[in-house]
Amino acid sequence: MKKPFAITLDPGSSLANHTGSWRTERPVYVDRLPPCNCACPAGEDIQGWLYHAEGGDYRRAWEALMKNNPFPAIMGRVCYHPCEAACNRGKLDEAVGIHAVERFLGDLAIREGWLPGKIAEPGAKRILVVGSGPSGLSCAYHLCLMGHRVIVMDSAKAAGGMMRYGIPKYRLPRDVLDAEISRIERMGVELRLNSKIDDLMAAMAGFDAAFLAVGAHLARRTDIPAGDASRILDAVSLLHDLEDGSPPMLGRRVVVYGGGNTALDVARTAKRLGALESLIVYRRTKEQMPAHESELNEALEEGILFKWLSTVKAMAGGSVTVEKMTLDETGFPKPTGEFEKIEADSLVLALGQESELDLLRNVPDLEIEKGTVKVNRSMMTSHPGIFAGGDMVPSDRTVTSAVGHGKKAAKNISAWLRNETCIAPEKHEIAGFDKMNTWYYSDAPRTIQPELDIARRGSTFDEVVKGLTGENALFEARRCLSCGNCFECDNCYGVCPDNAVIKLGPGLRFAFDYDYCKGCGLCASECPCGAIKMIPESI
Amino acid sequence: MSLQPIKFYQTGTFTVGNRLLDESQRTVQANMRRTNSLNSGHRACQGCGEALGARYAIDAAMQAAGNRLIAANATGCLEVFSTPYPETSWQIPWMHSLFGNAASVATGIAAALKVKGRQDVRVIAQGGDGGTTDIGFACLSGMFERNDDVLYICYDNEAYMNTGVQRSSATPPAARTATTPAAGAHPGNIFGTGKNVPLIAMAHRIPYVATASVANLHDLEAKVKKAMAIHGARYIHIHVPCPLGWGSHPSDTLKVARFAVESGLFPLFEAEHGEITASQPLRKKAPVEAYLKLQKRFAHLFGEKPDRDTIAMIQAIADRNIEKFGLDSPP
Amino acid sequence: MLQQLEGSRAIAQGIALCKPEVVCAYPITPQTHIVEALAEMVRTGELANCEFINVESEFAALSVAIGASAAGARSYTATASQGLLYMCEAVYNAAGLGLPIVMTIGNRAIGAPINIWNDHSDSMAMRDAGWIQLYAETNQEALDLHIQAFKLAEALSCPVMVCVDGFILTHAYERIEIPDKRDVDAFLPPYDPVQVLDCNDPVSIGAMVGPEAFAEVKYLQHRKQLRALELIPEIASAFSARFKRDSGGLVKPYRLEDAETIVVALGSMNGTIKDVIDEMRNEGHAMGSLAIVSFRPFPLDEVRAALVDAKRIVILEKSLSVGLGGPLSDGVRKSLSGTGIKGHTVIAGLGGRAITRKSLMDLFVKAEKDELELLNFLDLDLDIVNGQLEREKETRRSGPVAENVLKSIGTVASRIA
C-alpha cells in the first residue's frame, strides 16, 4: 500500500519509542520468604511443595518436601506446625492446613513406595550417627543423599528415639513410623540397634565424623516425699516401657504432674490404659501451659481433668497432697500454704527430660552447659568433627527442630569433611501480610464455579489420588496464598498498561521488558503474593 | 452443583490467569499469544487505566472476531497517546477522524463492509467520555437508533483529560476539575448534573449494553465476548481511572477502579434490548470514602474538617445504585 | 438517452451510474431531491450494491462517508448551506485524510437571516478545506461533472465538491442526455483505494502530526490540487471523446476574441451572462466571458491567458467576503497581477435575488464606460439600507435588521404581524 505521508502509519511501529526512559522506579521479581517457611524449624520450603500439590503433582510435591524433611508422614502428624500459626491466610480466614497436606503426601508416598529421586553415589567418608531419633535419622538421611556412608547406632531395640518412645501410638501409628524409617534404610543408611555406645572416642575409630543425637531420655525428678504403697513413676519410662510391651500398672486414678506435652501424652495414655480418672496437676495457669493448644484441646475432649495453680507436695496412702499456688505480679507462681488431698493410685512425673551424656566423658574440650552440649552455628561441638543436635543441644525439643538440626548438621559435616565452611544463604525478606494484595484471594464466585469444577476433575483423575482424602488435600493445598513467591497468576502480565511484562511460559515465570516499563508500579501493587518489588532506578 | 465452602486462591479468583485451568478457560490477557492490539511504546501516562482498558477490550474483541476487526477512534487521550506521527501503537486496522464522529465513522466502515460482503470483519468505535457522552453523543445516538453493526466502547475517565482535566457530563459530583475548581461554597462538580449514557443507550433498546471496569477483567472480557457475538448496535462503558486527572497514584489505578465498583458508585450491569439482565454483586462492599480518599480530586472533602454532608450525598448515590441495580451480595 | 428531467433527478441518475457503494443522506433544501431519488433507486434495486444510510446530521453524513471511504467503498453525500457548515469539521478532515468522497452542494445562502435561496456563500466558506470545487453551469454539466468528479477524486485520493446552483439548477426541468451505463463503466473503473482499512494489511489512519511534518502534509495537499490542474482537462477531454460533448475542464471561455471587457463568473449565471454578451456583441460591444469550472484548484495560468488581452474584467460573484469583497475576485486578480488590467468585483444574486439581463446589460455598459468601482453591488436598494442606518443612528434599539428591511419593502411577511 502506498501510504499517505504522516497521517497513515505502519502497525505497531511505536515499538521504536522506548518509554522505559520515563522510569524513576523499576519493578523486580523477588522471592520473599513465606511466613510458613520462616517459621518451620525443619526449614521446609512449604510454599514450594504446596505449589506442586496445588497442581495435583503429588510426587513432585513430596520430592520437594523430602529435600528438607525425610518424615512427611510423621511430621504431618506430630509437628505442632508453627507454620500454620504464621500463615498469612490466617489473617484472611483460616490458616492453610499445611500439616494435613504434608501427612497426605507422606502417606501417599508410603503407599506408593516412593524413594527420593537423587541419591549421590557413596563416597569414602564414613560418618557415625549416635541415636536414631528424628535428628539422628534426619542427619543420616541428608548425609546419605550427599553420598556419605552413614552408620546409625542406637541402644534401643527399635529405631525412632522419642518418636517411638515418647510419642504415643495414637498420635503416631507405628506402621507409619516404621515405613519412614525403613525408607531411610532402603536408601543405604545402616542402622545398628541394641548398640549402646559407652565411649564415643573409642567408637569413633574408622569414622571421619560423628553426629550425636542421643536425645533426652532421662526424666527430670523432683523430691516428693512418698509413703508406703505410693506408686510414683516418671513419664519417660512409662512411655518407653509401654512401647517395649510392658505397660505399667497405673490404677484407676492417675495424677500427672507437669504442664508440657509429655504430661498430656501420659494423661491421655493413662486413659487409654484404663484409668477412670486422669488428672493433670500444673503449678501455673492454663494459659501458661507450655503444651500445644491442639493437644490440650484433644485432652479436654477426651475428659482429662486439670488442676491449675497447684504443686505436688507429697504422696501417701492413695492420695496426693497438693499446695495451691497464686501468681505474683510478675506472673510467677507463689505458694499459698493451702493444701489439698487428691485421691490417686499413681503419680506420674512429667517434669522434663535430661540427656544421658556419659558417653562423652572422654571427649576432650567438650563444652557442656546445663546438661546440654554446646554447639556452634554449624552444629559442631567444641571438639572438631563431632557435631550434635536434637534434644541434647539447647533447643525447644520438638521433633521438627530435631529434624532441622539433622539437616543443618549434615550440610555442615559434609562441608567440614571437604575442609569447607557451609555458609547459609541470607534469608529473604519476609512476605508479610502487608506485602500481599489479598483482593485476589477469594471465595470461588458462583459464576466461575463450572471452571473450578473442571480444574478439580482434571487434577483428581490422577490415579494416585483416590477418594475424598486426595480431593481434600488438593483443596487445602490450593488455599495456599503462595506468599512472596510467584505462582504464575499472570496478574503482572495482564495489568501492565505498557505490555512490559514478558510471559516466559509455564513454570518459567515472567520477565520485565525495561525498554517499555514506565515504572508505574501497577504490577507490584496488583501482585497477589508480593513477589514484585519496586526499587529506585539508578542512573 | 453445591457451593464450595472452602476458599481457593487460584481457581475462581480475579487474577488474570490461572495455571491450573485449561488455557481455553483463562482470560485473553493471560494468553502468551494475546494480540497486544495496543502495542508497547505508546505515550500514555504511567499507570493509565485507559491504555489498559483499551488493550483488555480490543484484545478480547480480536479473539472473538478471529482477528478480523477494524476500529474507529474518537479524538482524545487514547488517540493522541497511541498515534503520534511517526509511530502508532495499534496493530489492528484503525482510524481516527474527529472528536465527535467516531460512531458515524464506524457506521460508514460497517456499511462499506456490508456492501462488500465482508460482515465477518467486525467494527468497533471507541472514545473517551468526552467524545462519547458530550461531543460525540449525537452521532452515538444516531448509530444506536439505526442499530448499525458497531460495538461502541466508551473508556470513561470522567473528564477531558487530554486537554488538561476539564469537566465532562461524566464527571461525578464534587470532583475537582480544571473547570469545576475546588473553590467557593460548593467546591467541585455540581450535584444533580451529568448523564448516564449506559441508561440512555438502553433507552434506544439496542441489543446489548454493559458497564465494565478495568478492575474486573473476567467480567470485562465476558462482556466484550458477549457483545461480539451479537450483531447490531452495542455499547460497553468501561470505567478507567486516570492517575493524572484523578490525582491517584499510578500504582493504585486498579485499586481505585475496584473501590469505584465495590462502593457501588460504578455499578456493573448488562442490559439486552433495553432491559437489565444481570448485575455484578459487590464482593467486598466498601464505603465511598475508601474510593474518594485515594484521589486528590476529592481531597477538599477531607482534611482537618471533612465535609461529612457532601460525603453523605455521594454515599447516597452509591446506596441508590446498590438498590437500583441489586448489587448487594446474595445472602 | 435524452430525458426531460428535474436537475436533482438528473444528478441522482448520474450518481447512480457511478455506482456509489455508500450514500449518506440528511435532508436540506435544495439538495434533498437528489438523495430522495437515490433512496428510491436503492430500494427498488435500480442502484444495487449500495448502502443508503439516513443519518442524524450533516456532520454524521460526511463522517459516515469518511468511514465508508476509508474502508474502501465509493462514497457519496450531498448537502447545502447550513448543512455544509455543520459538517465543516468533517469537510476539512476528509480532505486531510485524502478520502475521495464526492459531495454535491446545492448552493444556497447562509443565515442569518435564514434564507433558503441560491448563492455561493456555502461552498465559498469551504474553499480552503482542501476539496476540489467544480461549478456547474447547466444541469447537463452538473450530471457530467459528477461522473468526472469520481474519476478525479479517486485518481488523486482527494474529495471533490460539485457545486450546483440551488433551485436555478436543482429544481429546473431541462432536457438532459443521460449517459449510457456502459460508457460510464468504461470511463469510471471500480474504486481502487490508495489506503484502506484492511485486516490483512493493518494501518493506522489519521495520526496526530506535529510541527515536524504538518507543513509537509499540507503542502502535499496543495500539490495534489496542482496535479488536479493537469488532470481536470485530461479527464474533460476523455469525457468529451467518449460522451461526445464538452463538459467540465478548468475554464470555459466565451467570445473572447478581441474582447475589451470580459465577465468572469461561476455556475449557472454564466448562461444569462452569455445571453447578454450575445446581445451586446450584436450591438458592437467587444464583450466576452469566462466561466470558471474549477474554483479549487484555481487555474491561475488558464485565467490569465484568457484575460490578458482585455482592458477590464468584471467579476460577478454570488458570495460576499464580508469586509473585503468577493472570493472569486481574489483569484482572478492574482492571475492578472502585473498586467495592469482593471478588475471590478460585482456582488450579485445574494440569497436568491434574480440576476436579470437588464441589470447585467446596464452593469456591463457602465463597465465599458469605466464607471464601476472596485467593489459593486448589483441592484442594491440604497433607500432601504440608508433607512436602516438612519434608524440605527436615532435609537440604539432599532429593532431587527431583517424585519426592518422587510417592513420597508412592504412584503407579505411584514403584514403578518
- Considering only alpha carbons, which residue of chain C is nearest residue B139? C60
Of B4, B91, B92, the CB nearest to A452: B4
**With an 8 Å Cβ cutoff, is B19 touching chain A?**
yes
What per-residue confidence (pLDDT) applies to B1?
27
What per-residue confidence (pLDDT) applies to B5?
38
Q: Give the three cell numbers for residue C363.
A: 452593469
Nearest to B46 by CA among C350, A497, A213, C10: A497
Of C201, C202, C205, the CB nearest to A7: C205
Roughly how many angstroms between the first and final C-alpha of chain C, as a whole number? Answer: 51
Give how far A14 is from chain C: nearest CA, Å. 11
Is B17–A506 a contact, with Cβ atoms under 8 angstroms apart? Answer: no
Residue B104: its chain C contacts at CB < 8 A?
A: 55, 59-60, 63-64, 66-67
Give how far B200 is from chain A: nearest CA, Å. 28
Roughly how many angstroms between the first and final C-alpha of chain B, as a whole number? Answer: 17
Measure the CA angle with vertex C358, ends C353 and C359; round to 5°: 50
Q: pLDDT band at C396, cuts 50/70/90?
A: confident
Residue C201: its chain A contacts at CB < 8 A?
A: 1
Residue C206: its chain B contacts at CB < 8 A?
A: 73, 79, 83, 95-97
- Report A:415-454 residues touching B (Cβ under 8 A): 439-446, 448-454
- Report B:112-141 residues touching C (Cβ under 8 A): 112-116, 121, 138-139, 141
The CA distance from C127 to C56, in Å, is 25
What per-residue confidence (pLDDT) applies to B222?
96
- Is residue A264 within 8 A of residue A378, CB to CB? The reply is no
Sorted by where each begins, the domain ranges of chain B are: 32-325
Give how far B254 is from chain A: nearest CA, Å. 8
- Report B:171-230 residues touching A (Cβ under 8 A): 217-218
Probe site for chain B from A92, A498, A532 (most B CB atoms < 10 A): A498
Give how far A204 is from chain B: nearest CA, Å. 52
Is A449–B21 a contact, with Cβ atoms under 8 angstroms apart? Answer: no
**With an 8 Å Cβ cutoff, is A1 touching chain B?**
no
Which residues of chain A does CATH 3.30.70.20 include? 13-31+487-536
Q: Is residue C160 over pLDDT 80?
A: yes
The residue-averaged pLDDT of C69-96 equals 98
Between the alpha carbon of residue A532 and those of residues A439, A487, C185, C385, the distances in Å are: 16, 12, 66, 80
Taking CB atoms and an 8 Å cut-off, how many pairs form between chains A and C?
48
What per-residue confidence (pLDDT) applies to B26?
85
Give the CB-side neighbour count of residue A312, counting CA atoms within 13 A. Answer: 30
Residue A10: its chain C contacts at CB < 8 A?
A: 203-204
What per-residue confidence (pLDDT) applies to A300?
87
Of B85, B100, B114, the CB nearest to C207: B85
- Is residue C97 within 8 A of residue C70, CB to CB? The reply is yes
- Considering only alpha carbons, which residue of chain C is nearest residue B120? C199
**Which of C147 and A94 is assigned the larger pLDDT?**
C147
CATH class of the domain whose range is A126-217+355-417: alpha beta
- Considering only alpha carbons, which residue of chain A is nearest residue B48? A497
Chain center to CA of C148: 15
**Which of B331 and A48 is assigned the larger pLDDT?**
A48
Is A4–C97 a contact, with Cβ atoms under 8 angstroms apart? Answer: yes
> Fold for domain C2-243?
Rossmann fold (3.40.50)
Is B98–C93 a contact, with Cβ atoms under 8 angstroms apart? Answer: yes
Residue C22: its chain B contacts at CB < 8 A?
A: 108, 111-112, 115
Residue C194: its chain A contacts at CB < 8 A?
A: 1-4
Nearest to C24 by CA among C70, C46, C55: C55
Give A34's DSSP letter: P
Q: Out of B26-30, B254-258, C187-191, which region has the weakest mean confidence (pLDDT)?
A: B26-30
Is C217–A8 a contact, with Cβ atoms under 8 angstroms apart? Answer: no
Q: pLDDT band at C411, cuts 50/70/90?
A: low
The CA distance from B318 to A198, in Å, is 80
Is B15–A528 a contact, with Cβ atoms under 8 angstroms apart? Answer: yes
Give how far B191 is from chain A: nearest CA, Å. 32
The residue-averaged pLDDT of C300-309 equals 98
Tens digits of per-residue pLDDT, A352-370?
A: 999 999 999 999 888 998 8
Q: Is residue B172 over pLDDT 50?
A: yes
Roughly how many angstroms between the first and final C-alpha of chain A, as a whole number? Answer: 43
What's the CATH code, domain A35-116+437-477?
1.10.1060.10
Residue C51: its chain B contacts at CB < 8 A?
A: 111-112, 114-115
Is B104–C55 a contact, with Cβ atoms under 8 angstroms apart? Answer: yes
The mean predicted confidence, pLDDT, of chain C is 95
Is C194–A4 a contact, with Cβ atoms under 8 angstroms apart? Answer: yes
What per-residue confidence (pLDDT) applies to A449?
22
- φ/ψ of residue A447, rounded to 5: -65, -30
> Fold for domain A225-351?
FAD/NAD(P)-binding domain (3.50.50)
Residue C196: its chain A contacts at CB < 8 A?
A: 1
- φ/ψ of residue A386, rounded to 5: -110, 120
Is B112–C72 a contact, with Cβ atoms under 8 angstroms apart? Answer: yes
CATH class of the domain whose range is C251-377: alpha beta
User: Looking up cell 515418647, which residue turns up?
Assistant: A166
Strand pairing report for C375-377 and C342-347: parallel
Is B7–A10 a contact, with Cβ atoms under 8 angstroms apart? Answer: no
Q: Spell out the long-range contacts of A379-382 with Cβ–Cβ below 8 A and sequence spacing 24 or more.
A: A379/A405, A379/A408, A379/A409, A379/A412, A380/A412, A380/A416, A381/A212
**With an 8 Å Cβ cutoff, is A524 touching chain B?**
yes
Identical fold between C2-243 and C251-377: yes
Is B94–C212 a contact, with Cβ atoms under 8 angstroms apart? Answer: no
The residue-averaged pLDDT of B17-45 equals 90
Residue C50: its chain B contacts at CB < 8 A?
A: 115
Q: Is residue C351 over pLDDT 50?
A: yes
What per-residue confidence (pLDDT) applies to B7?
42
Is B20–A499 a contact, with Cβ atoms under 8 angstroms apart? Answer: no
Element housing A511 (H / E): strand A509-512
Strand pairing report for A386-388 and A277-281: unpaired
Beta bridge mates, C346 = C316, C376
Q: What average pLDDT values come out for chain A (539 residues) when binned by 10 residues?
A: 82 94 96 96 95 91 96 91 92 84 92 86 89 97 94 95 90 91 95 95 94 92 80 91 86 93 90 88 92 84 90 90 93 92 93 92 89 94 95 92 96 94 87 93 39 30 32 80 94 98 95 98 97 91
Of A2, A5, A11, the CB nearest to C204: A11
- φ/ψ of residue B205, rounded to 5: 55, 40
Q: pLDDT band at C404, cuts 50/70/90?
A: confident
Tens digits of per-residue pLDDT, A111-124?
A: 999 998 777 787 88
Query: pLDDT > 70: what percent of chain B?
Result: 95
Q: pLDDT band at B330, cuts 50/70/90?
A: low
Which residues of chain A does CATH 3.50.50.60 include? 126-217+355-417, 225-351
- Considering only alpha carbons, which residue of chain A is nearest residue B282? A445
Which CATH code, of 3.30.70.20, 3.40.50.300, 3.40.50.970, 3.30.1490.20, is assigned to A13-31+487-536? 3.30.70.20
What per-residue confidence (pLDDT) applies to A309?
95
Give how far B132 is from chain C: nearest CA, Å. 14
What per-residue confidence (pLDDT) applies to A445?
29
Residue A480: its chain B contacts at CB < 8 A?
A: 9
Q: Is residue C342 over pLDDT 50?
A: yes
Is A7–C202 a contact, with Cβ atoms under 8 angstroms apart? Answer: no
- Is residue A490 within 8 A of residue A503, CB to CB? The reply is yes
Is C202–B96 a contact, with Cβ atoms under 8 angstroms apart? Answer: no
Give how far A513 is from chain B: nearest CA, Å. 10
Is A451–B3 a contact, with Cβ atoms under 8 angstroms apart? Answer: no
- Report B:252-311 residues touching A (Cβ under 8 A): 252-255, 258, 283-284
Neighbours of A, requiring at least 3 CB pairs below 8 Å, are: B, C
Sorted by where each begins, the domain ranges of chain C are: 2-243, 251-377, 382-416
Tens digits of per-residue pLDDT, A252-284?
A: 999 999 999 999 989 988 888 888 899 999 999
> Fold for domain B32-325?
Rossmann fold (3.40.50)
Q: Give the three cell numbers for residue A299.
A: 485432652
Residue A50: its chain B contacts at CB < 8 A?
A: none
What per-residue confidence (pLDDT) applies to B4?
37
Is C217–A2 a contact, with Cβ atoms under 8 angstroms apart? Answer: no
